[in-house]
Chains A and B, each alone.
Chain A
Amino acid sequence: MNSQLEQVLKKQQNQQHAPQESEIENVVQLVGFMVGDEEFAVPILGIQEIIKPIEYTRAPKTPPYVLGVFNLRGSVLPLIDLRMKFGLSRSKENEDTRYMVIKDNDEVAGFVIDRLTQATRIKESAIDPAPETLNDEQNLIYGVGKQKDKLISILNVKALLKRDF
């Protein structure tokens, strides 16, 4: 755990000390997380908070990926299972599971993710539009961020919060 933390800190420091040119270019800050075996990311500005799983109440007459509603300090928010939303099997809760509370204007909802990975900065120029084949009608993918060793799918916050039933 400790060594991981150190690594993360080091990474953050590196990012802070990163050459100034990245500041000049538009940089997007992302929070990465795992859903299934794939890594996704959401712009940090779209995230209200990330909490550990708490109890929720099932809401009837909703699609299966809407798990229900939960109480976040007095507000009732919908809880959406991203795995099911992406057509995977239902999430099994473990100690890495988090609820990511995503907010766009007045619309707020919690999303179940399997595990947080890391916060990254990525240049806007390094983000490609989502490939045609990936781009379904829901427009969930905003783009694909290219990093040194991997690709990361950036989700569209507005589309996530859009009701589609």
Chain B
Amino acid sequence: MDEFEEILEDFLVEAFEMIEQLDNDLIELENSPDDLDLLNRIFRVAHTIKGSSSFLNFDILTHLTHHMEDVLNKARKGELSITPEVMDVVLESTDKMKGLLEHIKETGSDEGAIDVAPTVRRLEAILNGGSAEEPPAAEPEPEPEPAQAEKDLSEMSEEEVEAEIERLLAERQEEDRKRREAKKAAETAGEAPSAEPEEKDLSEMSEEEVEAEIERLLAERQEEDRKRREAKKAAEAEAQKSAPEAKETPKSEAKPAAPAKKETKAPPKERKTTVEQTIRVDVKRLDDLMNLIGELVLGKNRLLKIYDDVEERYEGEQFLEELNQVVSSVSLVTTDLQIAVMKTRMLPIGKVFNKFPRMVRDLSRELHKEIDLIISGEETELDKSIVEEIGDPLVHIIRNSCDHGIEQPQERIEKGKPPKGTVELKAYNEGNHIIIEIVDDGKGLDPDMLKAKAMEKGLINEKEADQMSDKEAYMLIFKPGFSTAAQVTNVSGRGVGMDVVRSNIEKLNGIIEIDSEIDKGTTLKLKIPLTLAIIQSLLVSVQEEYYAIPLASVLETVRITPDEIQSVEGRSVLRLRDEVLSLVHLADLFDVERVFSMGEHAYVVIIGIAETKIGLIVDSLIGQEEVVIKSLGEYLKGIEGIAGATIRGDGRVTLIVDVGALMELAKNVKSSMENLEDRSEKREKSSPADYNVLVVDDSKTDRSIMRKALEPLGVTITEATNGVEALNLMKEGSTSFDAALVDIEMPRMDGYTLAAEIRKFNKFKMVPLIAVTSRTSRSDRMRGVEVGMTEYITKPYTPEYLMNVVARNINLNVEQTS
């Protein structure tokens, strides 16, 4: 039954898509009941679903859609006007259809799921009530053969196909006869000709033509059947492929007359066929692709950094230009590629917005209000994962606007507003965010009322209420257990509150803003990042470590001097304008080893979530950077205060802090600036041998010359043959060096780079670095100073000179030793 399942799947996908469309079209129809194109489109959807479901033997679904179709057919002929009551029933039947389809999806059958009888009875009532001059409702649909032709042939045995064709033939003849009769009767009805393009192909054909057409159809079917039998013999993989093909062939071949007309006369239907070509792709594949691109981006970042280094070192060289071209083209393509792949994951937010016209319509009928929903910006695109998450919060918000925002028509008239309220739903891009605004022109939020209510429920106390700004008061509606509705209605009493909205939006790293004016309306603004994988962050450094703080949680940054920090009950606080902020050092939170004391300035990053905020002391601010979030993996998942990691341009990992957890941690940490100096105690140097000097040179001769020159000082000398070795010796920390003599030209890592690397470490900031080189030009000297060399000695030098320079730099008294 593989083929059948595949057909069923296709049917379901198609049917769900069509019903979604149907919902919107119906709402639109209610607003413009005379739109025939629209009516035709709706009719066709009902018709197609009926056709396919009858073929698949879903009798209940067929029964329902059949009646629905009849009603629509009547409307489309102008014999029935679309009143809200009629629309209610039609919408009810679409809901039933949805229910049935869901049931089919789960169980593969439509039996026993939903009782459609009442709905069908109502449809019949409309049908009978509305019909006057036309023969009764049982009139067969005008386009039976395409529908039946759609029935898939692959499922039938040859005999069945034969029988089917026989039946079809008989039906057509019967129908044709009927139609001729009907035509005569309906001549007075004055239908618009465009209203029934499909009917034409039959009504205009002579009987012979119809016969010929059926003959042709029959031949085609047999031919197809033969093909299918052949195909069946083929391998299973092929059989699978042939199924969709097979499904398409009858459709396109069996409907030769109708589509020809439709193309010219029914543009809405055409829309379906000209939809841009697409293929369905497993989301996982896109995710994998995205990961690969992520790695490529990191590679690109590294390349750029290396290029910078190379440019510095080989300034003015010929090959730099070429390298530059390659690097920039690679980086350009990578960026484009990244954007392109991100775009493949983007969906228009219209996918979510689509269901709201129907919802608002139902709500307004239920609440006896008049509400207009205006949607704009539905083409705005968002990452798929966000589109999936955003639906529920929006449902709550819109429901809230309709229920609590918009007043009853009577009340609105009294207030001098039009009786019909409007809810506006718009989406637009702003930088790296998408903004969704829900604006209603209802009664607005009353901050005092909100505060009173919150106090009544014990959510805030009086003092808090007094200090609250209006904006903060508006945010109260997001507190769990808060409801402004005076009475619980069917709409608002569903046990899902606005707090769900907030938590969902926050999960997406989004921000909610509310603005409101009493009797003017409320504006709710959701600011959501375009993707979840990339965030804007503020990079800070603490000692030798870097951390990224999500920019969304950063309120502001200030530079302070240590004496601005005050102490209250053993806790550091900062007076900032009118506020007193509690301060905590990031180094205390994360137990960062303090190798270097605080400089003249420190920076305070003020982070906040909802109402609480704290100041985070860091050593310096590196800047704002867009970072790709990587998970820390199973092993380190959920370590306190860390939300994830990212890889920076230099290939190093930087951790992203979890602001919420950080604030929790901060409660238990006592920050004090004093303990900064504790560790900086120095070992007492009693003899010259306690001084360690590092000699870095690739030439053995040079090293021994230096060693000889320093011998009289009696200091301990360690040798390294290149920059990398020297750096490792210093980093390792088993000996702390008091000075280093550095050659410039060395393999692996030259002297300039070494000096720059050493200076990156706070603890080596003060170590004297003495360049010993034969490079004598001014620019070389300048370069040396720039990278942090303390002294610059040019070869050749006298041993005494070298010795004196070293002695001076390590504060060793030469006389003492000699």
Contact = CB atoms under 8 A, between A and B. Distances in A.
B2 interface: no
A45 interface: no
B633 interface: yes
Contacts of A145: none
A44 to B, nearest CB: 21
A109 B635 CA distance: 8
A61 B640 contact: yes
B642 A78 contact: no
A57 B633 contact: no
A76 B635 contact: no
Contacts of A60: 589-592, 639, 641-642, 655
B635 A55 contact: no
B647 A74 contact: yes
B251 interface: no
A29 B651 CA distance: 34
Interface in A3-59: 55-59
A161 B634 CA distance: 9
Nearest to B298: A74
Interface residues of B, number: 32
A66 B635 CA distance: 10
B634 A107 contact: yes
A74 B295 contact: yes
A73 to B, nearest CB: 7
Given A76-B631, A108-B633, A61 B639 contact: yes
Contacts of B592: 60
Given A57-B653, A61-B642, A78 B732 contact: no
**Among A62, A68, A76, A92: residue with most chain B CB under 10 A:** A76
A70 B346 CA distance: 31
Among A56, A57, A60, A62, max chain B CB count under 10 A is at A60
Contacts of B640: 61
B653 A71 contact: yes
Interface residues of A, number: 27
B412 interface: no
Contacts of A75: 630, 633
B641 A78 contact: no
B633 A62 contact: no
Given A70-B653, A71-B647, A71-B652, A62 B294 contact: no
A45 B630 CA distance: 26
Contacts of A137: none
Nearest to A107: B634
Contacts of A76: 630-633, 645, 647, 653
Contacts of B630: 74-76
B645 A69 contact: yes
Contacts of A71: 298, 647, 651-653
B331 interface: no
B632 A69 contact: yes
Nearest to A163: B635
Nearest to A70: B653
B138 interface: no
Contacts of A62: 636, 639
Contact of A59 (B298, B639, B651, B652): B639
Nearest to B590: A60
B654 interface: yes
Interface in A123-165: 161, 163
A73 B636 contact: no
B115 to A, nearest CB: 48
Given A57-B652, A60-B592, A76-B653, A107 B635 contact: yes
B545 interface: yes
Interface string B568-580: 0000000000000
A77 interface: yes
A73 B298 CA distance: 9
A161 B647 contact: no
Contacts of A107: 633-635
A108 B634 CA distance: 8
Contact of B635 (A57, A78, A93): A78
Contacts of B645: 57, 69, 76
B295 A73 contact: yes
A163 B590 contact: no
Nearest to A60: B590
B695 to A, nearest CB: 21
Contacts of A108: 633
A106 interface: yes
A59 B642 CA distance: 9
A16 B142 CA distance: 80
Interface in A85-108: 92-93, 106-108
Contacts of B591: 60-61
A92 B294 CA distance: 33
A58 B642 contact: no
A2 B539 CA distance: 48
Contacts of A77: 633
A98 to B, nearest CB: 16
The 6 closest A-B pairs by CB, nearest first: A60-B590, A74-B295, A57-B653, A76-B645, A61-B640, A78-B635
27 contacts: A56-B653, A57-B653, A59-B632, A59-B639, A59-B642, A60-B589, A60-B642, A60-B655, A61-B590, A61-B639, A62-B636, A66-B636, A69-B632, A71-B298, A71-B651, A71-B653, A73-B295, A75-B630, A76-B631, A77-B633, A78-B635, A92-B732, A92-B734, A107-B633, A109-B633, A161-B635, A163-B636
Interface of B: 291, 294-295, 298-299, 545-546, 589-592, 630-636, 639-642, 645, 647, 651-655, 728, 732, 734
Interface of A: 55-62, 66, 68-71, 73-78, 92-93, 106-109, 161, 163
Given A60-B590, A71-B298, A76-B632, 12 more contacts: A57-B546, A62-B636, A66-B636, A71-B651, A74-B647, A93-B732, A106-B634, A107-B635, A109-B633, A109-B635, A163-B635, A163-B636
